[in-house]
A and B are shown apart, each in its own frame.
Chain A
Amino acid sequence: MNTNEDKMEYIEEFDHNLIEGHEYDGIKELDNPPPFWLLSLFYLSVIFAVAYGAYYFWLGMGDLQVAEYEKAVAEAQMNMKNKQGKSGFDENNIVLFTDEADINAGAQLFATKTCTTCHGMHGEGNAIGPNLSDEYWIHGNTPNELFQVVKNGVPSKGMTPFKGQLSEKQMVQVLSYVLLKIQKSNPENAKAPQGEKLGFYSPDAETVETTTDSTGTE
């Protein structure tokens, strides 16, 4: 005899509702109807399904995912255009920041926006990216040229384009930090020079304009 056998004990109100002949290993079943609210929920969900199909497909009222995406992009572009009018950055005439606040902001960006992973903690360069402190340049050393490098990247060399990651102002802040602080800083573990000797960036003297492209690399 199993010590765990309990007798089924029923509360009165259930008894009249039991279905005759429905007993399985002592489990009985009641003849309650499915709750009305649950059935209603089901019918509502079916109506929702049909309406969903109609909205997106048969009536074509809702945007499918590509249309939705294109609208979002167009809207963002409109907003950007409205803003750009006011930003005042002329890509052909980049003027570096010389004030402490902006240069510090640039240093902050340099440290946090992944610049350091390829150019080293202090711009000394590493296995991936070139030294930024020396006189040798692969893609020119003028603010205008370097702005393009930061903005659009150098795909063939692995330089990431930062146009979606930094605002134009931020790009100039980073550039200011690199050209005014990292240049000539003579950091430890500096990587061997790459590119052409164009000289240090100097805000006073016009740097040598170069017409060569980026073929001067090893």
Chain B
Amino acid sequence: MEQEKFYYDNKIVKLFALATILWGIVGMLVGLTIASQLAWPIMNFDWQYTTFGRLRPLHTNAIIFAFVGNAIFTGVYYSMQRLLKTRMYSDLLSKIHFWGWQLIIVLAAVSFVYGITVSKEYAELEWPIDIMIAIVWVVFGINMIGTMIKRREQHIYVAIWFYVASFVAVAILHIGNSIAIPVSLLKSYPVYAGVQDALVQWWYGHNAVAFFLTTPFLGLMYYFMPKAANRPVYSYRLSILHFWALIFIYMWAGPHHLLYQALPEWAQALGTTFSIMLIAPSWGGMINGLLTLRGAWDKVRESAILKFMVVAVTSYGMATFEGPMLSLKNINALSHFTDWTIAHVHIGGMGWNGFLTFGMLYWLIPRIYNTKLHSEKSANAHFWIATLGMLLYSVPLYWAAFTQTLMWKEFTADGLLAYPNFLETVTQILPMYMTRVIGGTLYFTGAVMMAINLKKTMSKGHIIENEEAHAPALEKLQSARMAGETGHRWLERKPVQFTIWTLIAVFIGGAVEIIPVIAVKSNIPTIESVKPYSPLELEGRDIYVREGCYTCHSQMVRPFRSETERYGEYSKEGEFVYDHPFQWGSKRTGPDLARAGVKGGKMYKNAAWHYNHFMNPQSMSPGSIMPKYKWFAKQTLDISHLKRKIEVMRMLGVPYPEGYENQAKDDLIKQANEISAELKASGIDLAADKEMIAVIAYLHKLGRDISESEVTQNTNK
């Protein structure tokens, strides 16, 4: 067979690798900052651009999309060319992909700091950036599929199956979850409301974990682990089984983020059962990785790279067991809204994604720079310091979670909450928050050591921008299945068909859950007394979203006695029909606010209290870790988009009467004056046009509409 000569593009691999290291360090540093803010609120710097609410999305997005994202692309661009024996389909597309992605990251960082967000977790970016993401993602997809088409390797290796599935699924998820109507260049409202928005969001959120943090990394594992260990993959048949099972089942499991919440219970049950069915397919990947090392364990002792990979795969195995356990109702009843979730995702993020990335970089950088790693010793030290960091990060958080959830649920012999003051349960776990910062610092230190080590490796070697390679041209086989060829083997040489089948596999789960919740009315029983937000409340809600209040406060009272005793009536599906976006939250660092507007309820505080609390939370709640929001009293409420906001809301089905947009401003001013007067009566002078007034109006709306029916219920008893 005649050998063709061609060149692998290593330059693009280098760029993505450098971006991985840079954004990794940035993302971890932001993580360290927000971890410190929880332990020492002074770390919020009393500055609106650096509060926890704004930096937390910056941390999650920087780690997921900037650090892990660039790591995926590094590995994909390196391995794909070699697995398919060809250069990438188009250098131009590779470049657009790289620079486009970095531009998105920078824009994202700026918008989070400025509070430009839609508040849907890991999908917080506003619509213009969402469109850019979609375009760059499609560029990546075209480049990938084009490369498969011009390949010289007859069959597509399992790593690439995972890359393809990731591309297809993320495209569907991103577009499906981001559909919104713009109000202005920097503001939009999602088309879904309340329960639907929550379901779509967690279909996305869960599968961002699946198809951004998991499947691409399984692909990387299938390439870099056998490479680093010089061992064949343990089982081809297992890889087929676990690949298809994983991508099909994953898409169904999203509702496990909404257990015991205002979601139809058939959907919750699908979330639970499909999560349990995910254990074996997930472990399939772990087993295939670990058993690949059979006979190579002596190497693991010496090689930092293999150690990183082994701990990565083991962390993956732990996290994919823990995830389904957290999806069981009785465990979720304890774990949800606590630091358990945070600890869980950091086992995945630090262990699986971080360690595999570190291992991959240590392996790959010397290769494209045609040299040896500068210091194997430093890499080993990195491994141990990162492992210790991960333990010191996660163990205190598990401890914090158990402590806090038990305090939340404890009743005295008299049937009263043992810790009715939420703050008591927070101050109790502050030592754990402090220890967690130490763990994070160690992990971060390791990453810096890696950066230095790799930098020195790079200066020692010389980048081979275009690496020469040889392979025979692709032999043309008949299109139909050949004698003795299995169906799957046939599919492996049909990249387009393969892509279509993955598309079908990932599409089904989401469709079965989401379509009925949107289309079938009975899934969301309406409540007549629930009314749309007044213009002032709507503006206040937008500030609540801007500040990222949802990162610490839920608006979802679950049907447990310990919650209804603490907060008030449990939340119902029909309460959220005008919520674009929903604000249920996923973590309670502060108390739930769903009943903050129920007069006479346990959570109600009057305007003066809120004013004083926002100005200095510690003055009202000594020991509170909430940042000060003094700018609420200084900044004038921006109502320049009010008219358009009302129009967009009406377009989305909120029953503002025709022409109300013209009256909205007057109504807003009237309500603002009332609150200003109320504050005045308590001796607080605050002009009616300040943001504070709108936020108070919004908080006093929360749960107010159903409280009236609740009152009548109570008097009937």
Question: In the bound complex, do residue B566 and residue A164 qualify as a contact, i.e. CB atoms below 8 Å apart?
Answer: yes
Which B residues between 673 and 689 are near A, CB-CB below 8 angstroms?
681-684
B412 touches A27 (CB 8 A): no
Given known A-B contacts A25-B82, A113-B421, A158-B605, A83 and B414 have beta carbons under 8 A apart:
yes
B230 within 8 A of A: yes
Q: Which residues of B contact A30 (CB under 8 A)?
A: 232-236
Residues in B whose Cβ lies below 8 Å from that of A166:
416, 420
Q: Is the CB of B566 within 8 A of A72?
A: no
Of A32, A68, A218, most buried by chain B (CB within 10 Å of CB) is: A32
Proximity bits, A57-76, B CB within 8 Å = 1, else 0: 10000001110110011001
Chain A residues, Cβ within 8 Å of B609: 117-118, 128, 158
In the complex, whether A165 has a CB less than 8 A from a CB of chain B is yes
Q: Assess whether A208 is interfacial by the CB under 8 Å rule.
A: no
Question: Contact string, A98-133, partner B, CB cutoff 8 A, digits 1/0?
Answer: 000000000000001110011000000001100000
B186-194, B272-280, B444-452, B511-519 - the one binding chain A: B272-280
Judge if B599 is at the interface, Cβ distance under 8 Å. Answer: yes
Given contacts A29-B236, A158-B609, contact A48 B230 (CB under 8 A): no
Residue-wise interface mask of B (532-565) relative to A, using a CB-CB cutoff of 8 A (1 in contact, 0 not): 0000000000000000000000000001110011
> What residues on A are CB-neighbors of B413 within 8 Å?
83
Interface size class of B (residues with CB under 8 A): 35 or more
CB B241 to nearest CB in A, in angstroms, measures 6
Whether the Cβ atoms of B561 and A27 lie closer than 8 Å is: no
B619: A residues at CB distance < 8 A:
117
| Stretch among B171-179, B367-375, B498-506 lining the A interface | B367-375
User: Does A92 have its Cβ within 8 Å of any Cβ on chain B?
Assistant: no
Are the CB atoms of A4 and B232 closer together than 8 Å?
A: no
Q: Which residues of A contact B223 (CB under 8 A)?
A: 25, 27
Which residues 609-635 of B sit at the A interface, judged by CB distance below 8 A? 609, 611-612, 619-621
Say yes or no: A83-B273 contact (C-beta < 8 A), given A34-B235, A39-B280.
no
Contact A42 to B280, CB < 8 A, known contacts A14-B295, A127-B682, A158-B604 = yes
- Of the candidates A56, A113, A117, A161, which one forms a contact with B620 in the assembled complex, judged by CB atoms under 8 Å apart? A117
Complex CA distance for A21 and B155, rounded to whole angstroms: 9
Given the interface contacts A165-B416, A167-B414, does A69 sit within 8 Å of B561 by beta carbon?
yes
Q: Choose one: B232, B280, B411, B570; the contact of A14 (CB below 8 Å).
A: B232
Binds B, one of A5-13, A139-147, A178-186, A199-207: A5-13
A4 engages B230 (CB within 8 Å): no
Please report whether the interface of chain A is mostly helix, strand, loop or mixed according to DSSP: mixed
> In the complex, which residues of chain A have a beta carbon less than 8 angstroms from the beta carbon of B683?
127
- Whether the Cβ atoms of B236 and A25 lie closer than 8 Å is no
On whether the beta carbons of A128 and B682 are closer than 8 Å, the reply is yes
Q: Is A33 an interface residue (CB 8 A)?
A: yes
B6 at the interface (CB under 8 A from A): no
Interface residue? B576 (CB, 8 A): no
Q: A192 — nearest CB in chain B belongs to which residue?
A: B683
Contacts A24-B157, A113-B421 given; does A72 touch B238 at CB 8 Å: no
Is B226 interfacial (CB 8 A cutoff)?
yes
Q: Is B83 an interface residue (CB 8 A)?
A: yes
Q: List residues of chain B with CB within 8 A of the CB of A52.
A: 269, 272-273, 276
- Can you list, as one digit per residue, whether each of B222-264 has a CB less than 8 Å from chain A (1) or not (0)? 1100110011111111110110010000000000000010000
Residues of B within 8 A of A80 (CB): 414-415
A212: interface (CB < 8 Å): no
**A28: min CB distance to chain B, Å:** 4
Contact status B236-A72, CB under 8 Å = no
Is B96's CB within 8 Å of the partner chain A? no
- In the complex, the answer to whether B621 meets A114 with C-beta atoms within 8 Å is yes
From B235, B276, B412, contact of A49 by CB (8 A) = B276
Which residues of A have CB within 8 Å of B602? 160-161, 164-165
Contact call B684/A127, Cβ cutoff below 8 A: yes
CB distance from B197 to the nearest CB of A (A): 20
Residue of A nearest to B609 (CB): A128
Q: Say yes or no for B183: interface residue by CB 8 A criterion.
A: no
A38-B287, A128-B682 are known contacts. Are A155 and B600 too (CB-CB below 8 A)? yes
A95 interface contact, C-beta 8 A: no
Q: A196 to nearest B CB, angstroms?
A: 17
Does A153 sit at the interface, judged by CB under 8 A? yes
Does any Cβ of B come within 8 Å of A85's Cβ? no
Which chain A residues border B600 with CB–CB below 8 Å?
152-153, 155, 161
Which B683-699 residues have C-beta < 8 A from chain A?
A: 683-684
A65 touches B559 (CB 8 A): yes
What are the interface flags for B406-435 relative to A under an 8 Å C-beta threshold, 1 for contact and 0 otherwise? 000001111111001100000000000000
Which residues in B have their C-beta under 8 angstroms from that of A53? 269, 273
| B-side contacts of A35, CB under 8 Å | 238, 287
Contact with A along B381-405 (1 / 0, CB 8 A): 0000000000000000000000000
Q: Does B366 contact A (CB under 8 A)?
A: yes
B295: nearest residue on chain A (CB-CB)?
A11
Among A2, A6, A9, A158, residue most surrounded by chain B Cβ atoms (within 10 Å): A158
CB closest residue in chain B, given A55: B269
Report yes or no: B606 in contact with A157, Cβ–Cβ below 8 A.
yes
Q: Which residues of chain B (51-91) have a CB below 8 Å from chain A? A: 79, 82-83, 85
Contact B232 A38, beta carbon cutoff 8 Å = no
How far, in whole Å, are A153 and B604 apart by their CA atoms in the complex?
10
Cβ–Cβ < 8 Å partners of B155 in chain A: 21-22, 24
The answer to whether B612 and A49 touch across the interface, beta carbons within 8 angstroms, is no
- Asked whether B604 lies within 8 Å of A160 as measured between CB atoms, the reply is yes
Q: Is B710 an interface residue (CB 8 A)?
A: no
Q: In the complex, what distance in Å separates the CA atom of A28 from the CA atom of B234?
A: 9
Cβ of B662 to closest chain A Cβ, rounded Å: 33
B279: chain A residues within 8 A (beta carbon) = 41-42, 45
Cβ of A73 and Cβ of B232 under 8 Å apart?
A: no
What's the least CB distance linking A3 to chain B, in Å? 6
Shortest CB–CB separation between residue B201 and chain A, in angstroms? 20
Q: Is the CB of B236 within 8 A of A3?
A: no
> Which of A42, A68, A128 is in CB contact (< 8 Å) with B281?
A42
Q: Is the CB of A165 within 8 A of B417?
A: yes
Give CA–CA (A41, B599) in the complex, Å: 52
Q: Which A residues are CB-close (under 8 A) to B274? A: 49
- Residues in B whose Cβ lies below 8 Å from that of A49: 273-274, 276-277
* B238 and A34 within 8 A (CB): yes
Residues of B close to A2: CB separation below 8 A:
367, 370, 464, 467
Assembled-state Cα–Cα distance A30/B683 (Å): 79
Q: 10 tightest A-B contacts by CB? A: A158-B606, A155-B600, A42-B280, A49-B273, A165-B420, A69-B559, A28-B232, A24-B157, A155-B599, A34-B238
| 29 CB-based A-B contacts, threshold 8 Å | A4-B367, A13-B295, A14-B232, A19-B236, A27-B227, A28-B226, A30-B233, A33-B237, A35-B238, A42-B245, A42-B281, A45-B276, A45-B280, A46-B277, A49-B277, A52-B273, A66-B559, A72-B560, A72-B561, A76-B411, A83-B415, A127-B608, A127-B612, A127-B682, A128-B612, A156-B599, A164-B417, A164-B602, A218-B681
Residues of A at the B interface (CB closer than 8 Å) are 2-4, 6, 8-11, 13-14, 18-19, 21-22, 24-35, 38-39, 41-42, 45-46, 48-49, 52-53, 56-57, 64-66, 68-69, 72-73, 76, 79-80, 83, 112-114, 117-118, 127-128, 152-153, 155-158, 160-161, 164-167, 218
Given A2-B370, A68-B559, 15 additional A-B pairs, CB 8 A: A24-B159, A25-B85, A27-B157, A41-B280, A42-B277, A56-B269, A57-B269, A83-B415, A117-B619, A118-B609, A152-B600, A155-B600, A158-B604, A164-B566, A167-B412
